[in-house]
Amino acid sequence: MTDQPQSPAPAVPVPPATVLPARKRGLPMVLRHVIGLVVAIVVTPIGLFLFDYGARDYAAGKQIYLRGIHTPRDLLIMAVAAVLLLLVAVSARISAVGPLVGGLLFGVIPFLWYQIDTAGFASFSRSLPSTQLWFGAAPYEFPLIAVGLVGAGLAGRWRRRVERAVVIPE
């Protein structure tokens, strides 16, 4: 044996790798925003009106009977409305624009209108073509829709984006 240190084995050169950008999957951005807007503009008012209708009948039944008597129809209508509003909130996964616009159009703006011009808002709600007294729960119905949908839109906008890269050795 010799006292000389042994030299390490020569390093094997590692070939450089080519990194390709991740393939974009899914819908183009413009189509995503259009779908989000259509869902928000069509489904949000339907959910809002259904919830308002079911809640009014449910509250009227509670006040008239002063007991827990209510019809399952009212609860079912409110549940369907909640699912529709949840659909709008979940559409933030496709595009954050939809829930943001839905929350602003059908939550923030009506609530501000109600706060600024209550008489004008009441006149509008009475002039809707129906025997139903609409938006009896406006002081808390519109802010809840605004917070829920705008919050979902903001959360969808800032969701964590994971870039996947494909590494191909040369």
- Cite the DSSP H helix spans in 91-137: 97-103, 109-116, 118-127
What does the pLDDT look like over 49-68, one tens digit per residue?
898 888 887 777 777 776 66
Q: Looking at the predicted structure, is the pLDDT value of residue 11 above 80?
A: no
pLDDT in tens, 101-156: 999 999 999 999 999 998 998 888 888 776 667 777 778 888 999 999 999 988 87
Which residue from 93, 84, 61, 96 is spatially nearest to 145, judged by alpha carbons?
84
pLDDT value for 167: 58
Per domain, the residue ranges of the chain are 28-153
Q: Are 103 and 148 in contact (CB under 8 A)?
A: yes
Task: Assess contact for 112 and 146: CB atoms under 8 A.
Answer: no
User: Phi and psi for 17 in degrees, rounded to 5?
Assistant: -100, 150
> Is residue 79 packed enough to be buried (19+ CB in 10 Å), middle (13-18) or exposed (0-12)?
middle
Q: Enter the pTM of the model.
A: 0.71
